[in-house]
Amino acid sequence: MSRRRVNRVATISVHTSPLDQPGTGDAGGMNVYIVEVAKRLAHLGVEVEIFTRHTARDQPPVTELAPGVLVRHVTAGPYEELAKDELPAQLCAFLSGVLRTEAMYEPGYYDVIHSHYWLSGQVGWLAKERWGVPLVHTMHTMAKVKNLALAEGDKPEPAARVIGEEQVVDVADRLIANTDAEAAELISLYGAAPERVAVVNPGVNLGTFQPGEQGGARDRLGLPRDAVVLLFVGRIQPLKGPDVLLQAAARMLEADPSLRSRLVVTCVGGLSGAGLCQPDRLRELAASLGIEDVVRNEPPMPQADLADWYRAATVTVVPSYNESFGLVALESQACGTPVAAASVGGLRTAVRDGITGVLVDGHDPGDWARALLRFTREPAWRDELGRAAIAHASMFGWSATAGRLAEVYTGAMVENSTLPLVANQ
């Protein structure tokens, strides 16, 4: 009997390209996830082809992201960025481009489809039916979960998305959950069959995000060596809660006015989502709180530069209202900087409360101010958390993530075929 193995994965990422800079527009942790996993799968001998939307006329149809990893730009709608609510109208065109690509090859060219976010899942659903291969889907975020804990100024996710997610859950051969908590949400909120849900923790690039001398990092970034640096990294939108950090910083200065000469509140990221409707919201909030002199806004940046910011920080603050995992928290810890994070979603897995950082219940600025003040008043405790953070983050490498995903792909293929499979060596 002939034997098969996982040779090639079709990765679907409709609404954001893996080539985009994380922290801009809709690019974020999902982009990092797709890129890092693809590279590690290629190291395992699994070719990855990533389908994403063509957003500029000068983009080549195919780009090699890394050896064994191709990015295919599919024409679907205008050559420009579109809001997520505009993309469902382009799914038919996107699917057509994906199917045309596969039609150029012999049947069975792709062994498995891995779709990311519900829009991609809709495309993966139909491609799965056409190609007769298994569909593996990662939600990244879920409408029902987001709607349970909306930030002020955020809009509920529409019913169309909820229905679309339910459909993808019903048809996917495997659903990838970042944590046990997310797996439980898929089962309880979406009725996913437990045997089709696989928990695969995301990772961190341990070669880029690693400990370094704080003073040197501050020198390179133009920060005083004695500064108290509160760092926020992420897209500027209500969901991520940067306003909570600013309000907490104001409370900190009320409690300890002597901090003003040393406090630096840095927000690294670009506008996204509901934040696009209020581009000056953070600046105006800082002015209204009387803290504009201590707030520093930085644009999204490459990972190597971001690592310096983590090393320079006193504490990284992650006040999100919802996170499927929280890669920022893990990146910071890998650099030796503890984290103050909201006790929500995957952050409860990414941060070990009281050991590598602190988890804060709710989003009351007073609670956050008290939590953050402790980092300024107990440097020895802060350093102890930082040392434990490095050890904790070292357990989450992307190679382990890719290896586990390869096992999930193989399992889905076994169920989808009467032919036995051999795992990649």
Q: Does domain 214-394 have CATH number 3.30.1330.10?
A: no
Predicted pLDDT of residue 169 = 98
Predicted pLDDT of residue 80 = 86
* pTM, full prediction: 0.88
On whether 182 is known to bind a ligand per the annotation, the reply is: no
On whether 348 is known to bind a ligand per the annotation, the reply is: no
Over the range 321-331, which residues count as b (16 or more CB within 10 Å of their CB) and which as e?
Answer: bbbbbbbbbbb
On whether 235 is known to bind a ligand per the annotation, the reply is: yes
SS (H, E, C) the chain: CCCECCCEEEEECCCCCCCCCCCCCCCCHHHHHHHHHHHHHHHCCCEEEEEEECCCCCCCCEEEEECCEEEEEECCCCCCCCCHHHHHHHHHHHHHHHHHHHHCCCCCCCCEEEEEHHHHHHHHHHHHHHHCCCEEEECCCCHHHHHHCCCCCCCCCCHHHHHHHHHHHHHCCEEEECCHHHHHHHHHHHCCCHHHEEECCCCECCCCCCCCCHHHHHHHHCCCCCCEEEEEECCECHHHCHHHHHHHHHHHHHHCHHHHHCEEEEEECCECHHHHHCCCHHHHHHHHHCCCCCEEEECCCCHHHHHHHHHHCCEEEECCCCCCCCHHHHHHHHCCCCEEEECCCCHHHHCCECCCEEEECCCCHHHHHHHHHHHHHCHHHHHHHHHHHHHHHCCCEHHHHHHHHHHHHHHHHHHHCCCCECCCC
On whether 161 is known to bind a ligand per the annotation, the reply is: yes
- Spell out the domain ranges in the chain: 8-203+398-417, 214-394
On whether 72 is known to bind a ligand per the annotation, the reply is: no
On whether 333 is known to bind a ligand per the annotation, the reply is: no
On whether 337 is known to bind a ligand per the annotation, the reply is: yes
On whether 211 is known to bind a ligand per the annotation, the reply is: no
Predicted pLDDT of residue 394 = 95
Radius of gyration for the chain, computed over Cα atoms and rounded to the nearest angstrom:
22
On whether 84 is known to bind a ligand per the annotation, the reply is: yes
Predicted pLDDT of residue 4 = 59
Predicted pLDDT of residue 382 = 98
Residue 409 to residue 305: CA distance in whole angstroms: 34
CB 425 within 8 A of CB 143: no
On whether 141 is known to bind a ligand per the annotation, the reply is: yes
Low-confidence ranges of the chain (pLDDT < 50): 1-3, 275, 277, 418-425
Residue 423 to residue 425: CA distance in whole angstroms: 6
On whether 331 is known to bind a ligand per the annotation, the reply is: yes
On whether 30 is known to bind a ligand per the annotation, the reply is: yes
Predicted pLDDT of residue 23 = 59
On whether 104 is known to bind a ligand per the annotation, the reply is: no
On whether 313 is known to bind a ligand per the annotation, the reply is: yes
Q: Does domain 8-203+398-417 have CATH number 3.40.50.2000?
A: yes
Residue 271 to residue 106: CA distance in whole angstroms: 43
Predicted pLDDT of residue 1 = 32
Domains 8-203+398-417 and 214-394 share a fold: yes
CA distances from 250 to 54, 168, 197, 317, 369 (A): 43, 44, 43, 15, 8
